[in-house]
Amino acid sequence: MAATGDNRRGTQAAYADPLGEPFLHTRFAPPARPATFLRRDRLVEHLDQALQTPLTMVNGSAGAGKTLLVADWAAGLRRPVAWMTTEAEDDSSGVFWAHLLQALHVTGAPLPDAIGCPADADRVDHGLLARLAAALSEGTRPLLVVLDEFDRVTAPQIAEELEFVLHHADDGMRLVLVTRTEPLLPLHRYRVAGAVTEIRDAELAFTPKEAAALLDLHGLHLPAEATRALVTRTRGWAAGLRLCALAAQETADPQTYLKEFEAARSTVADYLLAEVLKRQPAPTQDLLLRVSVLERFRPELADALTGRSGSEPVLAGLHRQNAFVEDLGHPWYRLHPLFAEILRAHLRERSPELEPELHRRAARWLRVSGALPETLAHGAAAGDWDLTAGALVDDLAIGQLFTGLRRDDLDELFRSMGPEATSAAADLVRAARDLCRCELDHGLAHLRRAEQTLADAARDGRMDAAGRLSCALLDVLAARLSGSPGGAEQAARTAEELRGEVPEHVLRKHPELIALLLTHLGSTRLWAGRLDEARAVLSAVVDGPGAPSTVLLREESLAHLALIDYLNGWPGRAERKARAALGDGERGLLPRPCGSGLGHTVLAAVAVDRDELAQAQALLDEAAETCPAGRDPVATAGRALASARLLLARGEPQAAATAAELSVAAEVACPWAQAYTALTASAAHLAEGRPDSASKVLDDIPCDGQPYAAELAWAHLAAGHRDAALHVLEALHGHNGTGPAIAVRTALVRARAAHEAGDTDTARRLLARALLQARRDQLRRPFLDAGPQVRRLLETPPLDELAAGWLILPPGGQGTPGDVSQQVPPLVVEELSGRERDVLLRLSRMMSTEEIAADLILSVNTVKTHLKSVYRKLAVNRRSDAVRRARELHLL
Amino acid sequence: MRYEIRVDGRMSETLAKAFPELDHVLMSGQTLLFGPVVDEAQLYGLLARFRSLGLRVVEMRQLPET
């Protein structure tokens, strides 16, 4: 056993952990069986059935011997087994699946990278589970997955997801749950189908014969009668028998001793553990009590807690005796969970004041050895917040308060931080938590205090590069939230200088730090209207390392890039990027306090340009729902822009002008946001018959080659200032990088100007070009806004042909062409097949073809075939039209 | 809500301290723990604690309000 065990551990130790937790591998290894372990053939034989049934449940009380039974059985199988010891943090769906995927990788299961990784702690993408199930179902033989201590998972959601994967993995997975409580899976269904192997307390209980063999292994030889009595007294409970053996071993007359125990009628584990404990030498007792505060430990850590050296042989000895200590693979140990609980009760009684001190010592030791999550947990348990915050900041992990799987846990952990912590790190953590909730004033106050503390330390010659880099990151975020481009650039330069002063490997461990910095910098530059410079840093985030901790940042950066494309007049590109922002990693929007909802906003703005107004409204509603009234300037400005345009298109200019007013306070105004606010106000004035006011609000808008110049020109023209309009266009001329939406608007201005000047041929020529440019992106709105004269031109040959089908209605039609109900005459719809309905339903949830394929366990090509026939039957040729048409026909 | 929970075996004083929110009395071969329980969540938490300490619950009942 030793040889296989060591090999196994070798490969696991080498595996890097995506969550940055170096000791995670101890959770993916079954504990080693002690020399006194007794194999019981009847149980092993029963467990062999686990290879035939999808689900196996080993369900018994603490100390019933479940874990060792399954570990021993799995080791004898001579095939890879994915093992995961569940911990409390796994009760969040995202964390659970990230760890389970890790456990599968550790076994070398051939899983494609495309499965992805959860980006958020408390949820997992359904597509990810579908891809995982599909990958498992393709295995040559079922993969055995053991989840130990599954009772720690209480979330019904995780049970449901596990059931989904197990079901869809078909024959590719055998799940073994080792648990104290009955899991929330629909066990009755498995029982009816004969698809579950169950081993419960009654079966786990030792028979007198087995008990005799176990006691023999412990060097205790009893007459059959005495053994039977002991089994009755302990109800065959493994932990009870073990403790009996250990307690009796040390006595002169074991039989008499055990008789006394039988008569005592005390609770078994509690009584026996106290007996065994008091027979240990004093230093060993002390060691056991002290390590009871730890989830797992190695001898050096135990030494740190006792303040003495020499724990190693004691621990090895205890493991050999099968007394309390389990071996997780050299050199890690843990206490048997049952004994740990009871020992903690003893610790509290004997030295109640010691517990915080033990946590503090553990935190100090772990901080040096680099185990951040455990350092933080123990530091918090000790109430030593300077230490805890210091560990977080030193590790450059402050970004984890904003993004990544640990975000919620960390937020919760630091929630109890009291005012007594005064270190710079503590203030940085406070500032980060405030800024995360967009509480700018509180955040800035804490940030200034941290800066002061750091500066004081620097004067005394203590340079804290990690602290200052974290501070620079928060400065950039604060600058973003307060719309202060100068502040952001300054802080970003400071960060750049400090990057060289922190250890490269620590920085690499936390890619989210730089990604956060660049995202915030990009957002601030976008606010300042420096679109190209914004794009440079945002693209760097999107192309950066694809760690789980950066998924949300890449999405946020993509949404910002989409907005830049939109402002530059590239609706097609903007749409693709916004969709990618919503679909990368996790489908749907993740509720984030800052800056989110932007992807939906951009899609809504594009929809307005296409005159798909209902769609635009739905998108804006969803953005408002997932991210209510943030104070992120760019997101707010984007939303104001899209809402105002939608209201203008609906013919509600007053409401539009109100919507366009920015509700966010910023140090520096945003040029494009200001321009669009003025444009909306101008349109509102014009609509109410005040051309002079309409013209006046445009006066102060600078237009040196800004992409919005085309719309500015249009507004001037509409207000009756043809010269001003053409002048503005001159400034735009030769400006690179603008897309079809700008070109179309420019051409419309020139066409209308030419038409007004009586040059109808030039107007026609310009309009023809505009139609060709607009058709691909279905840009209907600019033409619908272009006024009756232009529209009349569009309805006459040869322009009507260019406009036919997408812009101009077939004869007799009314309303706008984007409105499908009026564009397509009611048809008798051919009945959709079940699969086609499935596809259509997912289409309506904005799933991509790939996601639909994964969800339905179909190939991408099959889904495309279904899509084509759905389109044909509904007489549409676009996804959004198909969904709308289906809704009208009540097919959804 | 007040509950009384009967556990198999006589608990040591040390272990009883793991339930500081409850009073207890030792009876013949059993321990009776009783006291206020805030809500269901605490009740299930208590049950989980009994289980993790290797204790066998033989009876549990809600006491009438006084």
Closest approach of B58 to chain A, Cα-based (Å) = 12
Best B53, B55, B57 member to test A by mutation, with max A CBs in 10 Å, is B53
Closest approach of A806 to chain B, Cα-based (Å) = 60
By a Cβ cutoff of 8 Å, what residues of chain B touch chain A?
Answer: 7-15, 17-18, 28-29, 31, 48, 51-56
Radius of gyration of the CA atoms of chain A, in A: 34
Q: How far is CA A828 from CA A282, A876, A879, in A?
A: 88, 13, 20
Best A59, A268, A270, A349 member to test B by mutation, with max B CBs in 10 Å, is A270
pLDDT at position A428 is 94
Which one of B8, B17, B48 has the shortest CB-CB distance to A267?
B8
Check A266 against B51: CB less than 8 A apart.
no
Check A266 against B54: CB less than 8 A apart.
no
pLDDT at position A10 is 33
Provide, as residue numbers in chain A, all residues whose Cβ is less than 8 Å from the Cβ of B11.
266-267, 270
Closest approach of B37 to chain A, Cα-based (Å) = 21
CA nearest to B15 within chain A: A345
A579 three-state secondary structure: helix
Instruction: With beta carbons less than 8 A apart as the criterion, state whether A742 and A712 touch.
Output: no
Provide, as residue numbers in chain B, all residues whose Cβ is less than 8 Å from the Cβ of A205.
none
Indicate whether B61 pLDDT > 90.
yes
Q: Retrieve residue A484's tokens.
A: 């202060």
User: Rounded to whole angstroms, how far apart are CA atoms A125 and A226?
Assistant: 57
Which of A338, A366, A138, A152 is CA-nearest to residue A238?
A: A338
Side-chain half-sphere of A290: how many Cα atoms within 13 Å? 25
Best B8, B10, B14 member to test A by mutation, with max A CBs in 10 Å, is B14
Report chain A's mean pLDDT, rounded to a whole number.
Answer: 83
pLDDT at position A123 is 81
pLDDT at position A735 is 62
| Amino acid letter, A273 | L
Chain centroid to CA A438: how far?
20
Q: A794 CB contacts (<8 Å, ≥6 apart)? A: A767, A771, A783, A800, A803, A807, A808
User: Rounded to whole angstroms, how far apart are CA atoms A556 and A589?
Assistant: 11
Q: How far is CA A216 from CA A65, A211, A229, A251, in A?
A: 17, 8, 16, 16
Contacts of A189-198 with CB under 8 Å at 24 or more apart are A190/A53, A190/A54, A190/A55, A194/A53, A195/A53, A195/A54, A195/A55, A196/A53, A196/A54, A196/A55, A196/A56, A196/A57, A197/A46, A197/A47, A197/A49, A197/A50, A197/A52, A197/A53, A197/A55, A197/A56, A197/A57, A198/A56, A198/A57, A198/A59
Check A265 against B18: CB less than 8 A apart.
no
More confident residue, A160 or A273: A160
Provide, as residue numbers in chain A, all residues whose Cβ is less than 8 Å from the Cβ of B55.
267, 269-270
Confidence of residue A274 (pLDDT cuts 50, 70, 90): confident
Q: How many domains does chain B have?
A: 1
pLDDT at position A92 is 87
> What percent of chain A is predicted at pLDDT more than 90?
28
User: Rounded to whole angstroms, how far apart are CA atoms A121 and A157?
Assistant: 13
Question: Domain containing B25 — which CATH number?
Answer: 3.30.70
pLDDT tens column, A630-674: 678 888 888 889 999 899 888 888 888 888 887 777 888 888 888
User: Rounded to whole angstroms, how far apart are CA atoms A820 and A612?
Assistant: 9
Instruction: With beta carbons less than 8 A apart as the criterion, state whether A392 and A425 touch.
Output: yes
Average confidence (pLDDT) over A309-328: 83
Average confidence (pLDDT) over A122-145: 87
Lowest mean pLDDT among A477-481, A489-493, A595-599: A595-599
Q: Retrieve residue A485's tokens.
A: 């481009």
More confident residue, A453 or A735: A453
Average confidence (pLDDT) over A299-316: 91
pLDDT at position A163 is 92
pLDDT tens column, A87-119: 888 888 888 998 899 888 888 877 887 787 787
User: Rounded to whole angstroms, how far apart are CA atoms A773 and A763?
Assistant: 15
Indicate whether A9 pLDDT > 50.
no
pLDDT at position B64 is 87
Average confidence (pLDDT) over A585-602: 56
pLDDT tens column, B15-29: 888 898 899 999 888
Provide, as residue numbers in chain B, all residues whose Cβ is less than 8 Å from the Cβ of A270.
9, 11-12, 14-15, 53-55
User: Rounded to whole angstroms, how far apart are CA atoms A720 and A15?
Assistant: 70
Which one of B12, B17, B18 has the shortest CB-CB distance to A271?
B12
A855 three-state secondary structure: helix
Average confidence (pLDDT) over A39-67: 92
More confident residue, A232 or A16: A232
Indicate whether A589 pLDDT > 70.
no
Instruction: With beta carbons less than 8 A apart as the criterion, state whether A601 and A630 touch.
Output: no
User: Rounded to whole angstroms, how far apart are CA atoms A117 and A546?
Assistant: 10
Check A269 against B54: CB less than 8 A apart.
yes
Q: A373 CB contacts (<8 Å, ≥6 apart)? A: A19, A21, A406
Q: Pairing state of beta strands B2-8 and B57-63?
A: antiparallel
Check A345 against B28: CB less than 8 A apart.
no
Lowest mean pLDDT among A109-113, A301-305, A339-343, A803-807: A803-807
pLDDT at position A323 is 67
Instruction: With beta carbons less than 8 A apart as the criterion, state whether A476 and A517 touch.
Output: yes
Using a 10 angstrom Cβ sphere, with 0-12 exposed, 13-18 middle and 19 or more buried, the burial of residue A293 is buried
User: Rounded to whole angstroms, how far apart are CA atoms A573 and A783?
Assistant: 21
What's the order of all strands across the beta sheet hosting B30-36?
A: B23-27, B30-36, B2-8, B57-63
| Amino acid letter, A644 | A
* Neighbouring C-beta atoms of residue A278, cutoff 10 Å: 11
More confident residue, A176 or A828: A176
Q: Retrieve residue A268's tokens.
A: 């078994």
Q: How far is CA A782 from CA A266, A591, A759, A790, A820, in A?
A: 86, 34, 21, 11, 19
Indicate whether A4 pLDDT > 70.
no
CA nearest to A267 within chain B: B9
Instruction: With beta carbons less than 8 A apart as the criterion, state whether A619 and A827 touch.
Output: no
More confident residue, A872 or A823: A872
Chain centroid to CA B8: how far?
11
Average confidence (pLDDT) over B2-31: 90
Q: A820 CB contacts (<8 Å, ≥6 apart)? A: A876, A881, A884, A885, A888
Q: What are phi and psi of A701, to 5 degrees?
A: -80, 120
User: Rounded to whole angstroms, how far apart are CA atoms A492 and A622?
Assistant: 33
Indicate whether A370 pLDDT > 80.
no
User: Rounded to whole angstroms, how far apart are CA atoms A797 and A724?
Assistant: 31
Q: Retrieve residue A635's tokens.
A: 């997101």
- Quote helix, strand, coil % in chain B, to nearest 5: 25, 40, 35
Average confidence (pLDDT) over A760-772: 84
CA nearest to A339 within chain B: B53
Average confidence (pLDDT) over A241-262: 83
pLDDT tens column, A490-517: 999 999 999 888 888 888 888 889 999 9
Instruction: With beta carbons less than 8 A apart as the criterion, state whether A172 and A138 touch.
Output: yes
pLDDT at position A628 is 61
More confident residue, A837 or B35: B35
Q: Retrieve residue A748's tokens.
A: 């419309």
A664 three-state secondary structure: coil
Q: How far is CA A205 from CA A56, A325, A660, B56, in A?
A: 18, 21, 72, 15
In terms of average pLDDT, the best of A91-100, A378-387, A797-806 is: A378-387
Average confidence (pLDDT) over A696-723: 80
Provide, as residue numbers in chain B, all residues whose Cβ is less than 8 Å from the Cβ of A261.
none
Per DSSP, A174 falls in state: E
Report how many helices (DSSP H) and strands (DSSP E) chain B contains, helices first: 2, 4
pLDDT at position A827 is 44
Closest approach of B34 to chain A, Cα-based (Å) = 17
- Quote helix, strand, coil % in chain A, to nearest 5: 65, 5, 30
Which one of B8, B18, B54 has the shortest CB-CB distance to A338?
B54
**Angle value at C-alpha A772, between A770 and A776, nearest 5 degrees:** 115
Indicate whether A357 pLDDT > 90.
yes
Q: B38 CB contacts (<8 Å, ≥6 apart)? A: B1
pLDDT at position A432 is 93
> What percent of chain A is predicted at pLDDT more than 70?
91
Chain centroid to CA A421: how far?
30
Lowest mean pLDDT among A36-40, A94-98, A522-526, A542-546: A542-546
CA nearest to B49 within chain A: A341
Closest approach of B49 to chain A, Cα-based (Å) = 9
**CB of A598 less than 8 A from some CB of B:** no
Provide, as residue numbers in chain B, all residues whose Cβ is less than 8 Å from the Cβ of A338.
52-54
pLDDT at position A625 is 75
Q: What are phi and psi of A248, to 5 degrees?
A: -75, -35
A702 three-state secondary structure: coil
CA nearest to A269 within chain B: B54
Lowest mean pLDDT among A139-148, A723-732, A754-763: A723-732
Q: A548 CB contacts (<8 Å, ≥6 apart)? A: A18, A19, A98, A117, A118, A119, A404, A405
* Neighbouring C-beta atoms of residue A211, cutoff 10 Å: 24
Interface size A-B, in CB pairs within 8 Å, comes to 74
What is the longest distance spanned by two Cα atoms in chain A? 120
Provide, as residue numbers in chain B, all residues whose Cβ is less than 8 Å from the Cβ of A342.
15, 53-54
Query: Which residues constitute the domain of residue B12?
Result: 2-63
| Amino acid letter, A719 | A
Average confidence (pLDDT) over A38-56: 93
Instruction: With beta carbons less than 8 A apart as the criterion, state whether A611 and A818 touch.
Output: yes
Indicate whether A452 pLDDT > 90.
yes
Provide, as residue numbers in chain A, all residues whose Cβ is less than 8 Å from the Cβ of B28.
265
Indicate whether A819 pLDDT > 70.
no
Check A61 against B54: CB less than 8 A apart.
yes
pLDDT at position A814 is 45
Indicate whether B31 pLDDT > 60.
yes
Chain centroid to CA A263: how far?
56
pLDDT at position A583 is 64
pLDDT at position A552 is 83
